[in-house]
Structure 1
């Protein structure tokens, strides 16, 4: 009886023990009758190069990449797709006969999330909290679709760099500012969509929010990249104020679905993947 899968896939990062990606990816493989297996690979920064080098010998056909490796991993990849090159971060790797190609499905996943929720960025005003890896992908998506963008980050230089680097084509429609009370209040008074790309609201920062409730309004859409907890303090406050809220799980599943499609050339069963991700998240809470 066959016990070895045709190919291995996985998630590399640190930590990865509570990821819901294995549940949703393995369910998708099974649904599509693919004899593949998706695992988590906990790797510290000093172990990254060796893990990437082992993809060929271990028949690892593809990887997702998460914190803290999305930028550093580029050093060990042979080529990048255009979006990953523009963003400067990789979250999906394909092993193409020994050559490694990097993609960024955070970008496409956020675009799909917008489409699925009927949010048309053109002429809408986005305020992005944070300037890390996922913020880079989301900024590029907003700019490509014609949105107005304000980036707020604790380090003003990072906010300005992201706004300038990603959105040069939208002269006069982008800005990067220090994340402080004054700038936050001014930005949110003139925004349609808030996207939190910081860790505030999860882990040791659970129960906290960067946005005072008084700045939230019913006409806002509030998106939080965090998916655990499902409803962060920011989303709870926004919901109480009548705003539309979207948590990070949908974003995670959309980018995971895009990774699946890159690896398999098959349409991802998005609804199944979402269901399995929700079940895995519930299980992690126990």
Structure 2
């Protein structure tokens, strides 16, 4: 039962029709008998500053942050944790003692989801398709866990090059147009291939990622950050060619579990969260 004492958590985004976070978190709160509730908070970008101020006024304990607010919200928070400074984006906010503190759990969420599937990261080469915010979080997580090299392939070479410039010069990260012959050749040394683009999110999507399967390292692990549908065309093709194929559900659960622990101080019931999402999907 929701009362005036119930601690409120939300998710800020625009639009929010796609978010599965309320299902996952409310199942976790119920399982641990915590007096919390998680609600969607669709906020137009023009109203973000007022919304962040309103969270304190309405005594929210925290929020998740999703597209398109992850970067802009940093200007309206009292503190930015190192995890968010590193990525340059916030996906989790904790409000405590009148202060709003921004964190990023996406980077560690991806790493944990990969490691839980016995995929090696240290001294490996990762190829990333896409150069957006999700790609930056993943790349940061990989570098923190000892990846040897990250190769970015994108439709827009200028965007990929800007992506690379945002990283320290002491890490090995390269940018290419994903149709470029040199990029296609580099797939031979790929240990982990990651799709961070929305291509494949719709079952009616006719666009295909430019992967010459015959040139790809046959031992490469294929990761798609998309979790709905659970089997994208990329993952179906990966399975067909004998690759280990992982969708984005693990990352969703792990980043959510880390946020849950920041808000509640309790260990997240990952299996409960997983079961709730799988039942819904």
TM-score range, shorter chain: over 0.9
Unaligned stretches of 5+ residues in structure 2: none
SS of residue paired to 1:55: helix
Q: Is the 8 A contact 2:2 2:37 kept in 1?
A: no
Q: Distance in 2 between matches of 1:153 and 1:166?
A: 17
Partner of 1:154: 155
Query: CA shift at 1:47, angstroms?
Result: 1.9
Partner of 2:209: 210
Partner of 2:193: 194
RMSD: 1.8
Q: How does 1:164-183 map to 2 (within 5 A)?
A: 164-170=165-171, 173-183=172-182
Q: Distance in 2 between matches of 1:230 and 1:15?
A: 21
Q: Distance in 1 between matches of 2:206 and 2:124?
A: 29
Query: CA shift at 1:251, angstroms?
Result: 0.7
SS of residue paired to 1:53: helix
Partner of 2:65: 65
For the structure 1 residues 28 and 55, does the alpha-carbon distance in structure 2 shift closer, same or farther, using more than 3 Å as the test?
same
Q: Distance in 2 between matches of 1:81 and 1:187?
A: 35
Query: CA shift at 1:40, angstroms?
Result: 0.7
Q: Is the 8 A contact 1:206 1:233 kept in 2?
A: no
> What does the per-residue CA deviation read over 1:27-61, in whole Å, with 9 as the maximum and x for residues that have no partner?
11111111110011111211211211111111211
Aligned length in residues:
279
Partner of 1:107: 107
Unaligned stretches of 5+ residues in structure 1: none
SS of residue paired to 1:8: strand
Q: Is the 8 A contact 1:17 1:40 kept in 2?
A: no
Q: Distance in 1 between matches of 2:18 and 2:145?
A: 33
Q: How does 1:1-286 map to 2 (within 5 A)?
A: 3-147=3-147, 148-170=149-171, 173-203=172-202, 206-212=205-211, 214-215=213-214, 216=216, 218-280=218-280, 282=281
> What does the per-residue CA deviation read over 1:75-98, in whole Å, with 9 as the maximum and x for residues that have no partner?
111111112102110100011122
Q: Distance in 1 between matches of 2:263 and 2:76?
A: 19
Q: Is the 8 A contact 2:190 2:217 kept in 1?
A: no
Segments ≥4 residues shifted beyond 4 Å: none
> What does the per-residue CA deviation read over 1:201-225, in whole Å, with 9 as the maximum and x for residues that have no partner?
1138735331345345541101001
SS of residue paired to 2:63: strand
TM-score for the superposition, normalised by structure 1: 0.91
- Between structures 1 and 2, the one with greater helix share: 1
Q: Is the 8 A contact 1:78 1:100 kept in 2?
A: yes
SS of residue paired to 1:203: coil
Query: CA shift at 1:189, angstroms?
Result: 1.8
Compare 103-112 and 152-161 and name the one that shifted more: 152-161
